[in-house]
């Protein structure tokens, strides 16, 4: 067998027809569930647990605990991705991560000191990212390039679904932490089992690279021209997006001129679903159209520009109408960006044999800016003139994200 035949034999077969449909549905569920669990626990159960143990310093403590968790998550994805590539399998990692998450949640729900709460959340991040790293790698493994836009769009629906379902479920069990944690653990195990049952897997014939080189080699992915620019584009857009969205409640409280009978909390409950619906619609539409026209960069550029305009709306219209427009536009821009940007990333991977590792590197462009955004926003608000400076800075980041996609050469 010659070199070309060996490469073809080593390449996983792309899913077709009904198998592809089942795979896309199972990926949507698998990704939605990890966001449901992550957001539900981090947004409701973990803060409640910390408040019970440290009522006076809960805000600072929550920032410390989630910050440590963000660092652990950022490091875990590419490392586990390398190990997953080395093993040539995805399903064992998906099942293993889900079961580990269930066990960690059961134990962590009983933590009564801040040290053990921190250790528990860090362990949960390791388990959840073992699961997520393997799930993320399935798209380049099994979906043909011409279908990546649709697949990535479905994959991207996990975020808005996770925000809605995760917070709703967690809020119902805020007074029963043990039950809440256990339910989320069971849910992710069920999703892993469902994925395993619904899909087939062909072992990836990856080169047997020493473990040390696999662990340290993820940094080399950023030396690839197109992949590096896709990484930069995503990091900038997400930094701008979360710098404002994380402070949405405070913006409504302190800056926006709301109707007299509309408190900020109620306003948030209106804006968030508008953003969610807009995100879902734009994610599906942009993913389908990018496949239909086999064009990716124009959608990423346009969606990043739309996000930049949206982030300026509270500055241009500091009233309730402006916030409604903000909610709709930021959902449209962010949803379309994440759908097509993910498709671009899968098409410019530095190494097809190490897809999980390289997708883990890309996920750093999502996780790290989310961790940095609150700190950056606080500095901008405090040092550069309050919320108006924040809106301008966030819009600049989003627009730079649009420009950063232009140097990518391997995708139209």
**Do residues 257 and 320 lie in contact, with contact meaning Cβ atoms separated by under 8 Å?**
yes
What whole-number percentage of the chain has pLDDT above 90? 21
- What is the C-alpha to C-alpha distance for residues 298 and 288, in angstroms, rounded to an integer? 14
**Do residues 408 and 311 lie in contact, with contact meaning Cβ atoms separated by under 8 Å?**
no
More confident residue, 355 or 334: 334
More confident residue, 17 or 389: 389
Write out pLDDT tens, residues 193-234.
998 888 877 666 555 455 565 555 556 777 778 888 888 888
Sequence-distant (≥ 6) Cβ neighbours of residue 108 within 8 angstroms: 116, 117, 120, 121, 123, 124, 181
Report the pLDDT value the prediction gives residue 236, as an integer from 0 to 100. Answer: 92
For the chain, the residue count is: 412
Write out pLDDT tens, residues 86-128.
777 888 999 999 999 999 999 998 888 889 999 999 999 999 9
> What totals of helices (H) and strands (E) does the chain contain, helices first?
17, 0
- What is the C-alpha to C-alpha distance for residues 258 and 251, in angstroms, rounded to an integer? 11
Walk me through the domains of the chain, giving residue ranges and CATH numbers.
3-206 (1.20.1250.20), 219-404 (1.20.1250.20)
More confident residue, 165 or 190: 190
Write out pLDDT tens, residues 133-181.
888 878 777 777 777 667 766 777 777 777 777 767 877 787 788 999 9
Write out pLDDT tens, residues 262-308.
877 677 767 777 887 888 888 888 877 887 877 888 888 888 999 99
Report the pLDDT value the prediction gives residue 324, as an integer from 0 to 100. Answer: 93
pLDDT band of residue 4 (cuts 50, 70, 90) is: very low
């Amino acid at each position: 067998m010659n070199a070309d035949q060996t490469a073809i034999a080593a390449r996983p077969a792309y899913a077709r027809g009904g198998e592809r449909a089942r795979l896309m549905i199972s990926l949507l569920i698998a990704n939605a569930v990890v966001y449901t669990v992550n957001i539900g626990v981090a947004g409701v159960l973990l803060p409640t647990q910390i408040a019970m143990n440290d009522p006076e310093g809960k805000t600072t403590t929550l920032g410390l605990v989630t910050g440590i968790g963000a660092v652990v998550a950022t490091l875990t994805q590419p490392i586990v991705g390398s190990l997953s590539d080395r093993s040539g399998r995805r399903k064992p990692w998906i099942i293993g991560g889900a079961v580990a998450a269930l066990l960690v949640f059961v134990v962590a729900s009983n933590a009564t000191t801040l040290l053990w709460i921190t250790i528990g959340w860090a362990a949960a991040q390791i388990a959840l990212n073992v699961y997520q790293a393997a799930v993320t790698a399935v798209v380049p493994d099994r979906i043909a390039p011409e279908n990546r836009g649709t697949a990535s769009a479905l994959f991207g629906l996990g975020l808005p679904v996770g925000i809605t379902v995760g917070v709703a479920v967690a809020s119902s069990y805020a007074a029963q932490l043990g039950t809440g944690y256990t339910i989320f653990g069971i849910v992710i195990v069920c999703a892993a089992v469902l994925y395993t049952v619904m899909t087939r897997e062909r072992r990836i014939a990856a080169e047997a690279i020493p473990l040390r080189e696999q662990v340290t080699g993820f940094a080399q992915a950023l030396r690839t021209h197109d992949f590096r620019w896709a990484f930069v584009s995503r990091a900038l857009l997400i930094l701008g997006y979360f710098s404002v969205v994380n402070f949405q409640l405070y913006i409504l409280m302190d800056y926006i001129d709301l109707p007299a009978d509309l408190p900020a909390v109620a306003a948030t409950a209106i804006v968030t679903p508008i953003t969610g619906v807009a995100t879902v619609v734009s994610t599906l539409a942009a993913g389908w159209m990018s496949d239909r026209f086999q064009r990716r960069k124009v959608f990423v550029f346009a969606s990043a520009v739309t996000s930049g305009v949206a982030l300026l709306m509270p500055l241009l219209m500091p009233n309730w109408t402006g916030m409604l427009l903000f909610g709709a536009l930021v959902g449209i821009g962010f949803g379309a960006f994440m759908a097509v940007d993910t498709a671009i990333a899968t098409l410019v991977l530095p190494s097809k044999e190490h897809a999980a590792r390289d997708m883990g590197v890309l996920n750093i462009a999502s996780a790290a800016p989310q961790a940095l955004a609150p700190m950056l926003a606080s500095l901008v608000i405090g040092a550069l003139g309050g919320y108006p400076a924040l809106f301008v800075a966030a819009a600049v980041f989003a627009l730079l994200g649009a420009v950063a996609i232009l140097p990518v050469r391997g995708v139209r």
